[in-house]
Amino acid sequence: MQNVNVALPFESVRPGACITALMDTPLAKRQEAVDKLLSVASTNGAPIVEVDPQQGDRAIVTYLFRGGAGVENVIIMGAATSWDLELGKLRNIPGSTLWYKSISYPLSFAGSYRIAVNDSLVPFDDEADWAARTRNWKKDPLNAQLMPFIGTDDLSACDLSVIRLQEAPKEEFLLPSRPDSDLTLRRLKSTILHNERKVWLYRPPCAVRLEAAALVIVFDGSSYVSEVPVPQLLDNLILAGKIPPLYAMLLCSIDQKSRNHELPCNVDFVEFLVQEALPFAQREFGATFEANRTAVCGSSYGGLAALFAALKRPDRFGLVLSQSGAFGAASHTINDTLLEREISALPSFSPRVWLDAGVFETTAYQGRVSILEANRRMKQVLETHGALRGYHEFVGHHDYVCWRETFARGMLKLFS
């Protein structure tokens, strides 16, 4: 797929039609009109989506929130506003309890968000206590479209509200799981890393037969059972005949600190995978796995870790699924990345790789290459080696809502 260029979400110069109508309502009757609008929204759902009459490839999305006494600010937090405090800041309609914001999006956008009331408004780079700040971030009470979020050390667990516009890719493989597949929780102790972690083991539906064993290793396992329901996706891909039956081992991160140490280009973590995690999977599943049928998968740091593992041990990991891989985290300068340079210098690179990234992942943190730019560069490097199995730019941000769909897309490319 070619690079995608679309304008970032931005505050619409034209409020949604519902807001324009309220503004035209006499002040004495405005609260009554607000109550009617929120009653309709509670039945039909919100945000309210209208195709932009002046830009037919974009929608005006209007977020609504009923405030009350003591409400000083209301912020849409998350990928849906590109984590931009100003973009996410709702406005209060004078003479009413209604807070709103109309934002322009491409019609193919998908994203998640939460609502913060009376946020500190401290710039994110200056925040010292994320856990305290996010404790009161809640799902949108008017939006029934939700995605579970298990939380991290820094972000409180809470269902995320989801916006998925009419031209966003369909999540065709997010059907109910088969009751005869198996998901088991184990623990794996590592002498190499000096720690112990939870591991989810997936066995495919018993109605199918494994002719040649294949294994998918997924990092951030808790999130890939919850936010990206890998067992559910695999069930439906397998039963639809889209991919062969396979096993999956989902390795959970212990905490944010250890994740940030283990995943970004850590040779000890690669040795843990080869010497401890793979033998553990072979014992549990009673199978051996050839490199060309062993995939390593992850998002952000996990995508970086997956490609790094294949770089260091292509004899064990022949397939890579990287979602918004944080290749810029391994930057030495703004002009290149460590993996880009290492793979470019190789005479050949045998693993086959799927890459995806969001067209709104354009922020270059701390002078590093942005995720979108780093993935575009990596795409070119892998194409030179004939190693690129697929590349996709989704219309979204750094977001599990988008990765749910692209995980299935990547599995189809790697295993079909």
Tell me the domain boundaries of the chain: 10-164, 182-415
Closest CA relative to residue 273, chosen from 321, 323, 219: 219
The pTM of the whole model exceeds 0.75: yes
Residue 178: per-residue pLDDT: 65
How many other C-beta atoms are found inside a 10 Å radius of the C-beta of residue 294?
23
3-state secondary structure of 17: helix
Residue in 248, 354, 245 with CA at minimum distance from that of residue 294: 248
If one looks up domain 182-415 in CATH, what number appears? 3.40.50.1820
| Domain 10-164 and domain 182-415 have a common topology | no
Q: At what angle do helices 338-345 and 301-312 cross, to 10 degrees?
A: 20
pLDDT below 70 — which residues of the chain?
1-5, 151-157, 177-180, 206-211, 330-337, 366-367
- pLDDT value, residue 175: 78
| Predicted pLDDT of residue 273 | 98
Distances from the Cα of 400 to the Cα of 154, 295, 395, 397, angstroms: 17, 20, 13, 9
pLDDT at 335 (0 to 100): 47
Phi, psi of 36 (to 5 degrees): -65, -45
Class of domain 10-164 as given by CATH? mainly beta
- Is 228:400 a contact under the CB 8 Å cutoff? yes
pLDDT at 334: 44
